[in-house]
Structure 1
Amino acid sequence: MYQVKTFNAIADKGLNTFTNDYTINQEKNPDAYLIRSVNLLKVQFPKSLKVIARAGAGVNNIPLKEATDDGIAVFNTPGSNANAVKELVISMMIATSRKVFAAYDYSYQNIHADISKQVEYDKAKFNGTELFGKNILVIGLGNVGSLVANEAVNLGMNVSGYDPYLSADSAWKINNRVHRLTNLYQALKNADYVTIHVPKNKETTGLISTKEIAAMKNNAILFNYSRLGIVDNQAVVDNFNKIQFYCTDFGDDVIANNKKVITTPHIGGSTIEAEDNGAIKAANTIMNFLENGDTVNSINLPSMKLPFNAPYRFTIMHRNVPNMVGQITTFLANAHVNINNMANAAKNEIAYTIIDVDNLNYEKQLLQQMAEIPEVKRARLINHR
């Protein structure tokens, strides 16, 4: 029986995904954490913990180094809220272009007055523009960016994309009418709308700042629905003579109380459907890891999925150094264990080895020998169900 501890409110559809081999929040020694936005950066993990799965894309609330050092696999659920974010971005593009927020404020303030004639006179103040035929730049063409780009094509926009790290899988998702650019400053030059969909890291922090804003077209509208800090908010405030509106999902004192800033309270992925999707994917990820050792969508381990056709499976999380596989297979050979199948892959400094075996002798001794190798973070034995 596997034990799962949840944090935050996890959608029932996700919790109901677990089979009868799992109990939820009933034991003090969990095998898995299923989380959303809870801050785990200062949490001490129990020795029983093997996997953390976040129902969402970002993992900046998880201490990856500490988890890795403790032999804990960390996962997210990329794409589970992509459609929700796409719809919010498109709706904000329409709302800002048509001056919906200003028009609402006007109507709200005058709702009780007989203003029929005044409305006819004042509505010219709210003349907007259409998206059709306008130029949009999508920075980052992953799960969300590709959907935004494709939807913009459907709306009749001229769509350009900038993503120096575009993967082959993501490229297949993108409409062939999206023009891919390789120079950010050239890409910014003609865009009426600029929307950013990249993960936050050292390279993307401050990706849009003073120099980039200077390269933008006058009266462009800028959208940040990725993470706080990817856009330099101070640079935005200092250059509102250049930018028509700045729409973001992340509040900040720097941009507070500014009529050119439209801030939503981090609701990009906050739909019932997105929360269901994330919870279901996270639950399946936990089960696939605990029962099969699969590491698809892992943040700190290489992505591996090996058919499990043997009676037993060893999974070993270890440092990416020479002779690790040799040491492990030597232990198995000395115990007269026949290897049925195996795979090894690395992600930066961490490697992961899967070994399927037909027979097993002295399994506790073997696991102890593997675990005592200094470079090993965690060794597990899984019985084929």
Structure 2
Amino acid sequence: MNKYKIQTLNNISPKGLGRFPLERYEVASDLSEPDGLVLRSASLHGMAIPPSLKAVGRAGAGTNNIPVAEMSSRGVAVFNAPGANANAVKELVVTGMLLAARNIIAAWDFVHGLDGDADTMGQAVEAGKKQFKGFELPGRTLGVVGLGAIGVKVANVAQDLGMQVIGYDPAITVGNAWQLDASVEQAHTVEELLSRSDFVSLHVPLIDATRGLINADRLKLMKTGATLLNFSRAPIVDETAVLQALEQGGLHRYVCDFPTPEARGRAGVIALPHLGASTQEAEDNCAVMVADQLRDYLETGNVRNSVNFPEAVLPMTDGAARLAVANRNVPNMVGQISTVLAQRGLNIADLLNKSRGDLAYTLVDVDGELPDAVLDELRGIDGVLSVRAIDH
């Protein structure tokens, strides 16, 4: 049995890499012809992709550093780790709200600028502390845009802190809806949410539809003195419009995880150095999740938490050989696959076909062996992107 090769492009948590058993996997940062890539922030854009590649695992949620469309065209599955860093980001969002509400950064800077003896400093503290008077969170309204794994946790913890919470997510999944506190109100539009919230926290992926989601027109809808928190991706917010809103006194604070030269040192901006998932627990969780998904895909063909392939889970049939086919989502692909197998005298023991957008994926268990000639014939079908026999 050949070993699968897993190439790492960043430092990946040993807890994650430990999920690849040594008797079946070779894991290293310098490998030729890898079956899988595991990465965090490394960019695959412009990188030469080896023909051997079957899967990419991003040990985190976002996949902007991966050319997903190109991977799909090659029949390469791309996996991420949604929710594995949710608690870490949730805690940072709460931190951001407290930093903004209690004017912590300005107060910290004030103390660090003091000098003199204890009496002099004490007098300065008593005279100066009133300028940092803040407010408490209970009774304030938090608007959460995006109710995925992170957004749900943020909404629920805000409820526990005594805040009123409204959420907006027209594409919320059934699973996430079950996890959401029943007292969270539904906003029917982003505009409604912005107009009602004292704090707004963004938890959406960066796609064409969310780029510039918070723009000048929408900022005008926010309450005077509101705080905007962005721990998703920088381009979701029109930073120029946010800085203008801060200067004009519309916004109280902009708290984000994405420092820029334009925002550095600007009054009202609290910018952190992309700390959202920077906890050991989050790194471990992400690495473990993505390693398990890669293993399942390589060893059984099952697909879980892929950003480009459909969810596809088929229990292994005892004594059968498994075929995994990725193809364009066009008519009669399953028929053509079945015909090739039938002509070779291979009986289908079980079959699962799923589609997602322009891509479809088929798992077939057949009685008997899968000769290379069969795989080559399947690869010759117009629309087939990748074919492999699962190595038991």
Taking only aligned residues, the RMSD between alpha carbons, in angstroms, comes to 1.2
Q: CA separation in 2, counterparts of 1:191 and 1:160? A: 8
Q: Are residue 339 (structure 1) and residue 357 (structure 2) matched?
A: no
> Which residue number corresponds to residue 215 of structure 1?
221
> Which residue number corresponds to residue 60 of structure 1?
64
Query: Which digits, 9 at most, give the CA deviation of each residue in 1:203-224, with x for residues without a partner?
Result: 1111111111110000000000
Q: CA separation in 2, counterparts of 1:186 and 1:28? A: 53
Displacement of 1:127 = 1.1
> Which residue number corresponds to residue 329 of structure 2?
320
Query: Which digits, 9 at most, give the CA deviation of each residue in 1:298-324, with x for residues without a partner?
Result: 111111111112321100000001111
Consecutive unaligned residues of structure 2, counting only runs of 5 or more, are none
Displacement of 1:72 = 1.1
Give the 3 Å change call, closer, same or farther, for CA 112–82 of structure 1 in structure 2. farther
Q: Are residue 226 (structure 1) and residue 232 (structure 2) matched?
A: yes
Displacement of 1:27 = 3.6
Amino acid at match of 1:260: G
**Where in structure 2 are the equivalents of 1:1-385 lying within 5 Å?**
1-20=3-22, 21-25=24-28, 27-110=31-114, 112-113=116-117, 114-240=120-246, 241-310=249-318, 311-360=320-369, 363-384=371-392
Query: Which digits, 9 at most, give the CA deviation of each residue in 1:326-371, with x for residues without a partner?
Result: 111011111111111101111111100110112236x111101101
3-state SS of 1:74 partner: strand
Displacement of 1:117 = 2.1
Amino acid at match of 2:334: V
Displacement of 1:190 = 2.2
Give the 3 Å change call, closer, same or farther, for CA 127–325 of structure 1 in structure 2. same
Consecutive unaligned residues of structure 1, counting only runs of 5 or more, are none
Displacement of 1:111 = 5.2
3-state SS of 1:313 partner: strand
User: What TM-score results when the alignment is normalised by the length of structure 2?
Assistant: 0.95
Amino acid at match of 1:314: L
Displacement of 1:286 = 1.0
Displacement of 1:164 = 1.4
3-state SS of 1:337 partner: coil
What percentage of aligned pairs have identical amino acids? Answer: 40
Amino acid at match of 2:304: V
Amino acid at match of 1:66: E
Q: CA separation in 1, counterparts of 2:77 and 2:101? A: 44
Displacement of 1:112 = 4.8
3-state SS of 1:215 partner: coil
* Greater shift in the superposed pair: 106-115 or 282-291: 106-115
Displacement of 1:255 = 1.8
Q: CA separation in 1, counterparts of 2:66 and 2:314? A: 27
Displacement of 1:92 = 1.1
* Greater shift in the superposed pair: 312-321 or 26-35: 26-35
